[in-house]
């Protein structure tokens, strides 16, 4: 449970105990959607707001909070996963304001970490996926109106694959990205160039 501070702290400690160090954190847990009660602000339930913030934003905060000290001695790389909706807002059929706000918060948190911890040789970057073929995308793919909207927003004309996000995370975590920190990398089929 990424919203549980003790659980996240224990996870990081188990990792350090097992491997002797922590080089990379990829914070990728996330929830959202209308099925939880999310929607435009005036329709979003307080319960949905709290639950989405707890997993998406608090979970990312806790993962970074407990991973950072383990990286201070040797340096490290943090990769967080936000969303294109945290960059462009939401509209129409994608009006899930709690989700978009939590993902915008992840972008702000990660960029602040990048600035603050750079002198300790810790890099922090954000991936902002568009629509990726996961369980969270099932409603979109199954609804013709949503699928058409995504086809317009993602001019490459396809839904991304989990591998697209994974490859971006591997790159940002690797030494090949050693001079990159504080960026937001859209993996969005061109959504953000619209």
Known active-site residue 66: no
Q: d(Cα 58, Cα 40) in Å, to the nearest integer?
A: 21
Catalytic residue selected from 66, 99, 117, 171: 99
| Enzyme catalytic residues | 99
């Amino acid at each position: 449970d990424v919203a549980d501070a003790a659980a996240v702290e224990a996870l990081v400690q188990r990792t350090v105990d097992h491997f002797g160090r922590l080089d990379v954190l990829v914070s990728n847990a996330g929830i959202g959607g209308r099925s939880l009660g999310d929607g435009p602000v005036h329709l979003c339930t307080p319960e949905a707001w709290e639950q989405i913030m707890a997993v998406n934003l608090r979970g990312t905060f806790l993962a970074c909070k407990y991973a950072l000290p383990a990286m201070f001695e040797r340096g490290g790389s943090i990769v967080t996963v936000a969303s294109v909706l945290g960059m462009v807002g939401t509209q129409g059929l994608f009006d899930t304001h709690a989700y978009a706000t939590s993902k915008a918060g992840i972008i702000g948190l990660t960029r602040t970490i990048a600035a603050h911890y750079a002198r300790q040789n810790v890099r922090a970057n954000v991936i902002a996926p568009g629509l990726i073929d996961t369980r969270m995308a099932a409603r979109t793919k199954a609804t013709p109106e949503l699928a058409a909207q995504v086809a317009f927003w993602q001019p490459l004309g396809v839904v991304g694959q989990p591998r697209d996000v994974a490859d971006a995370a591997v790159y940002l975590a690797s030494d090949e990205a050693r001079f990159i920190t504080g960026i937001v990398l859209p993996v969005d089929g061109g959504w953000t160039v619209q």
